[in-house]
Amino acid sequence: MAVLEGTAVRLRPPAASDLEGIFTWYNDPEIVAPFDRFVTDTFDEFARAVETAPTEPASLAPRFVVETRSEGEVVGVVGHYRPHPVLEFVDVWYLLGRTAARGRGYGREAVGLLVRHLFATETLERVGATCDVENVPSYRLLERLGFRREGTLRAALFHHGRWHDVYVYGLTRGELPPDRAG
């Protein structure tokens, strides 16, 4: 799997030494649960999912860790998956588990690198994403990358004891903004 280099972050495949920290993020309700459902796996199930993700198009396991280029610190994970068995697109997802790293542009750069990589290596015309309508930082990140809000899935995600609406975003190959590295 490729290593993707940005200005401030690097995306690389998860190593065995990364998994414990990432698993901790996945099981911390303060990190994952504010805008997503909170589901725990066993560590062994999680490690197996990460290991098999490259060959499983529908896998929600991390495909890349996000590490800072300056410190080499792992600050998050990103991934992609095919959400539909017939439609020809992938959805991207992202999580900055190190909360101190949020708001510094790392997430935006990481998702931008992933999207460019997908368009460069896959026969895709569209990359999508979804986010809870209350997750303002997430939808602002997508919009800054050129994604268009295409609609709302009403009552599509259950967490925190209630149903939440979800925004649907998409970016086509022709809408991909010029690479503005740096």
The confidence score (pLDDT) of residue 34 equals 63
The amino acid occupying position 127 is V
Low-confidence ranges of the chain (pLDDT < 50): 181-182
Question: Hey, how many other C-beta atoms are within 10 angstroms of the C-beta on 10?
Answer: 19
The confidence score (pLDDT) of residue 161 equals 82
Beta-sheet pairing, 64-68 with 90-95: unpaired
Which single residue is written with the structure tokens 């999580």?
A: 95
Between the alpha carbon of residue 52 and those of residues 9, 34, 44, the distances in Å are 24, 27, 12
Digit-coded pLDDT (tens) for 86-121: 999 999 999 999 999 999 999 999 999 999 999 999
Digit-coded pLDDT (tens) for 37-51: 556 679 999 999 999
CA dihedral 139, 145, 150, 151 (to 10 degrees): 0
Between the alpha carbon of residue 128 and those of residues 9, 42, 111, 120, the distances in Å are 22, 29, 11, 15
The confidence score (pLDDT) of residue 37 equals 57
The confidence score (pLDDT) of residue 22 equals 94
**Whole-angstrom distance, CA of residue 127 vs CA of residue 82:** 10
Going from N- to C-terminal start, the domains of the chain cover 4-175
Q: What is the CATH number of domain 4-175?
A: 3.40.630.30
Is this structure's pTM higher than 0.85? yes
**Whole-angstrom distance, CA of residue 78 vs CA of residue 112:** 11
